[in-house]
Amino acid sequence: MATDDSTLALPTLHFHDDAIEVHKVVVGNYDNNVFVVRCRHTGDAVLIDAANEHELLLDLCKSLGVRRVLETHGHFDHIAAVPAMREAGYEVGVMSADAHYLKEVGYDVFIDDKEVIEVGKVRLHSIHNPGHTPGSVSFKVEGSPVLFTGDTLFPGGPGATKFPGGDFTTIISSIDEKLFTFPADTIVMPGHGTDTTIGNERPHLQEWVDRGW
């Protein structure tokens, strides 16, 4: 079904092109980014990281046609709204290596590496990015320059690896081999903070290695 463009006027709109809308809200004590990816052709949408402020997220889901939730990883600040989302009927997906983080809040399905997730006519490609957590996953939007990296890649470097399950060498390899292969104009939308691009970050990889974080 075709949809009108009324959602383009919402204050949450962060990015759009001919195929998708990306809506963004910042929630919780850790200023988590929560994204909704919406197919402009069908109105179907998916929410990335049910982090916090579940009432706000549920309202967003209803207004944007969200069908399911994808978790970039299982750290507590990214999953606080999961129970409310599941109670409202939204399926929650996480990689199996991070499922133990969600034992208190629950989950419904596993996300596989290199899985193609269909959102209307939009296709999201999952990319297993261990290092911040064992089951961290990024999502690349096919046909659009958008890449959601969770807490794997930020402006200025990789995510923290000091927590249990984190490993600096692993996250560097994960970024270099799986994310820095994308074109320079790929827009990186991380789990906290502002956007960046692959072109901005790729030249600094050796600096990150040398500093050790």
Q: Which domains does the chain have, with CATH numbers?
A: 6-211 (3.60.15.10)
% residues pLDDT > 70 (the chain): 98
Q: Is the pLDDT of residue 1 over 60?
A: no
Per-residue pLDDT of 87-137, as tens digits, reads 999 999 999 999 999 999 999 999 999 999 999 999 999 999 999 999 999
pLDDT band at 3 (very low <50, low <70, confident <90, very high): low
- Is 4 a residue whose pLDDT tops 70? no
136-141 mean pLDDT: 98
**Exposed / middle / buried, residue 86 (Cβ in 10 Å: 0-12, 13-18, 19+):** middle
The answer, as to whether pTM is greater than 0.75, is yes
Residue 149 CB burial class (10 angstroms; 0-12, 13-18, ≥19): buried
What residue has token string 């193609």?
A: 116
Task: List, as own/partner pairs, every contact residues 13-21 make where C-beta atoms lie below 8 angstroms and the sequence separation is at least 24, other chains included.
Answer: 14/189, 15/146, 15/187, 15/189, 16/40, 17/144, 19/121, 19/122, 19/141, 19/143, 19/144, 20/122, 20/141, 20/144, 20/146, 21/64
